[in-house]
Amino acid sequence: MSAHVDFGRRALVLRRGRIAVRLPFRPLVVCAVLAVAIAGMAVLALMTGSYQLTPGQVLSALTGRETGIVHDVVVDWRLPRVAAALVFGAALGVSGAIFQSLLRNPLAEPGVIGFSQGSYTGALIVILLVDGTYTQLVGGALLGGMATAVAVYVLAHRRGVQGFRLIVVGIGVSAMLESLNTWLIIKADLDEAMSAAAWGAGSLNGVSWDRVVIGGACIAVLLLLAGVANRPMRQMELGDDAAASHGIRVAPVRLGLILVGVALTATVTAASGPIAFISLVAPQIARRLARTAGITLAPAALVGALLCLASDHLAQHVAPTPLPVGVITVVLGGGYLAYLLFTEVRRRP
């Protein structure tokens, strides 16, 4: 038979009927290991709490062989939170991966186009000025985030949207909103300011089955769209001209990807408040583990899920007092940012 292309990395080639795919080994193995780690972490999270369980009890509760208190603790109390951490973490990981691929920048995430600050502004306005219900708060946050993202996109638009200009405009608009948010909190009375800050930290407290199911359904659809757009997205990492000459309609694909990326983060924000930094960190950790060229979505999703689950576990059970998960992810993200800056400085003396 004919010779094979040496990609420098071993891969599994599947050719059968209409299917012909090449799956590099290392990302496959990394994904498998991550899946096992996630399963282990999930069992640990389901065991832990004021009512301690054994792994066996957890597994039999999950397979429906337990009744009474064990079933209630695992399935009704703890599982929604674990499922939320997994699904939301995966969504954040993919959202960040999309933005880092599009903007070709390891510091990119939906926050760079102002989404996070904008949604916080929206939530603050609802909490402080309208004194609204939870639903209104979510609506305000989504509206604020989306409006900011659209404003940044439009302001950065000149003969199409270019990554660098989007980042610069995003940073400017975010800085403005951040000072607006600070001003709003200073103006508020103490109770309102505290509930605003609690929402703003991002927490899985009080996440119920219905929120997980609704959020999960939205996220499933969005992840499917991201999966379909994965190949054009990776092709666009070669530059707009190269991608266009390979038959990609660059402008609509980019807009579509931005929408999917923002919608993923928006869904998570709606259900749990803004959980910071997972979208920033997960794609980069995934890329280093899987050693792929550019950004790939599946490892980023799995790393995001594992990070979110582990952070929530730390926040609930390891911290001296239960904390919102967002506090832990901020610490993780800060450490990662420091590491990134440190290695960048070392690389360019």
Partner 1 sequence: MSATPSAARLRVESATIGYDKRTISEHLSVEIPDESFTVIVGPNACGKSTLLRGLARLLKPSAGQVVLDGADINSYKTKEVARRVGLLPQSSIAPDGITVADLVARGRYPHQGFLRQWTDDDERAVLRAMRQTSVTDLSGRLVDELSGGQRQRVWVAMALAQHTGIMLLDEPTTFLDITHQIELMELFTDLHQVGHTLVAVLHDLNHAARYGTHLIAMKDGAVVAEGAPDQVVTAELVEEVFGLRCLVVPDPVAGSPQVVPLGRDRTRRESTTHA
> What residues make contact with partner 1 under the rule CB under 8 A?
2-9, 13, 15, 18-22, 104, 159, 228, 231, 234-235, 237-239, 241-242, 244-249, 287, 291-294
Distance in Å, CB of 289 to partner 1, minimum: 12
Kindly report the number of other CB atoms within 10 A of residue 143's CB atom: 18
Q: Which is nearer to partner 1, 9 or 187 (CB)?
A: 9
Q: Which two tokens stand for residue 334?
A: 């800060």
Q: Which is nearer to partner 1, 74 or 161 (CB)?
A: 161
Sign of CA dihedral 201, 41, 38, 288: positive
Q: Are 96 and 283 in contact (CB under 8 A)?
A: yes
CA distances to 94, 130, 146 from 110, rounded to whole Å, are 11, 27, 11
Helix ranges, the chain (H): 25-47, 55-62, 69-71, 79-103, 115-124, 134-155, 163-187, 190-201, 209-228, 230-236, 240-245, 250-272, 278-290, 297-313, 325-347
15 forms beta bridges with 20
Distance in Å, CB of 201 to partner 1, minimum: 33
Residue of 116, 114, 120, 118 whose CA lies nearest to 137: 120
Distance in Å, CB of 247 to partner 1, minimum: 3
Residue of 203, 171, 233 whose CA lies nearest to 85: 203
- CA gap 252, 240 in Å, rounded: 12
Distance in Å, CB of 112 to partner 1, minimum: 19
- CA gap 251, 254 in Å, rounded: 5
Q: Which is nearer to partner 1, 210 or 241 (CB)?
A: 241
Distance in Å, CB of 299 to partner 1, minimum: 13
- CA gap 141, 184 in Å, rounded: 15
Q: Which is nearer to partner 1, 3 or 186 (CB)?
A: 3
- CA gap 235, 248 in Å, rounded: 8
Q: Which is nearer to partner 1, 5 or 345 (CB)?
A: 5
- CA gap 298, 188 in Å, rounded: 42
CA distances to 160, 208, 302 from 229, rounded to whole Å, are 19, 31, 18
Distance in Å, CB of 253 to partner 1, minimum: 10
Distance in Å, CB of 241 to partner 1, minimum: 4
Distance in Å, CB of 153 to partner 1, minimum: 18
Q: Which is nearer to partner 1, 26 or 71 (CB)?
A: 26
Q: Which is nearer to partner 1, 53 or 167 (CB)?
A: 167
